[in-house]
Structure 1
């Protein structure tokens, strides 16, 4: 599952990765977080296609993709593209922000704060776009299938930790059951928080 970074949770599955120190500092740039979001949501892209979505030059997106690749966050798609047009994808696995020594290193602590904030801003913008959508952007069947859910309860820290891990395990299992190839007829990008809603592509390339 290509999830946004989770703060404070250790990797629980093969392929998951804790990002800390140098990687956090490299990721602490709003455009780089946007690149990861686009590759997570829309699958493999070129620097040009991402640039069109974001209103950035392909030179800028290409540079930042290479920096992400240096730290193993993205990779080139094998056997696709050419010397002039390289295709990129998210490296599989969930990301976890891990800062065990951050309190001793203000630069790492600040990088973790920035990265978490950039990803949270992206989530908020995706939800706001869905909430503001109308029938011209989203058929009624998709609106009816989505959910925006808030539940309240009292937990101890241990209970909350157990609940989040149990819920993540269920979500991972269900995502693998229902995950479709982007070419599957009727499939579109969906984001699960839990809220679960179809993404409104406000940055579709021209």
Structure 2
């Protein structure tokens, strides 16, 4: 195996926010989740720009951005500011859900976990539906570079967890590839869940 050059750039680890009961309650709202996702995908924006993008009122986006800021999910992006409009950017690259929140003793926390996970499923479904409706407008090489697959494996819980972590590591290894012509933002969804045998 060739030695790694100490001077060569190493893949940067994404900055991930692990949700706890407090931060979950601050994020578990459909509009807040869409606002944060849009900022992570498209970069800094104002409340007015986000309102236009998401079909919401600027009053609603302003309020929920301030709530996201209070919980540490977004922050000011003053380098983009011109005039009086406030620009926002995400404070982290991603969010990690702690499965223990599903079993929390506080019903409010369990309810927030349900809202959060249900909204994730809805967002994934919307993104896939949007892709299918627009796929004919993309070049054939991008059609071939897309994927809608599912697999059924016989695994233990430990093996499933191991596979998930390996997939995450593989995806993250592509995060810091050098810029090249023809790149596009590519969304990867992973879903893994057990099913009872009949």
TM-score bracket, shorter-length normalisation: 0.7 to 0.9
Between the aligned partners of 1:144 and 1:33, the Cα distance in structure 2 is 30
Contact 2:78–2:86 (Cα < 8 Å) also in 1: no
Q: Partner residue of 1:108?
A: 109
Deviation digits for residues 144-202 of structure 1, max 9, x if unmatched?
22122212211111111111111111110112226x5xxx864433211159xxxxxxx
- Structure 2 CA distance for partners of 1:172 and 1:68, relative to 1, 3 Å: same
Count of paired positions: 178
Equivalent position SS for 1:24: helix
Report the counterpart of residue 141 of structure 2 in structure 1. 141
Cα 1:155–1:117 shift into 2, 3 Å: same
CA distance in 2, matches of 1:58, 1:121: 23
Structure with greater strand percent: 1
Gaps of 5+ in 1: 1-12, 196-206
- Max radius of gyration: which structure? 2
Contact 1:75 1:89 in 2 (8 A): yes
RMSD: 2.2
- Greater relative contact order structure (CA < 8 Å, 6+ sep): 1
Extract unaligned runs of 5+ from structure 2.
Answer: 1-12, 192-198
TM-score (norm 2): 0.80
Q: TM-score, structure 1 length as denominator?
A: 0.77
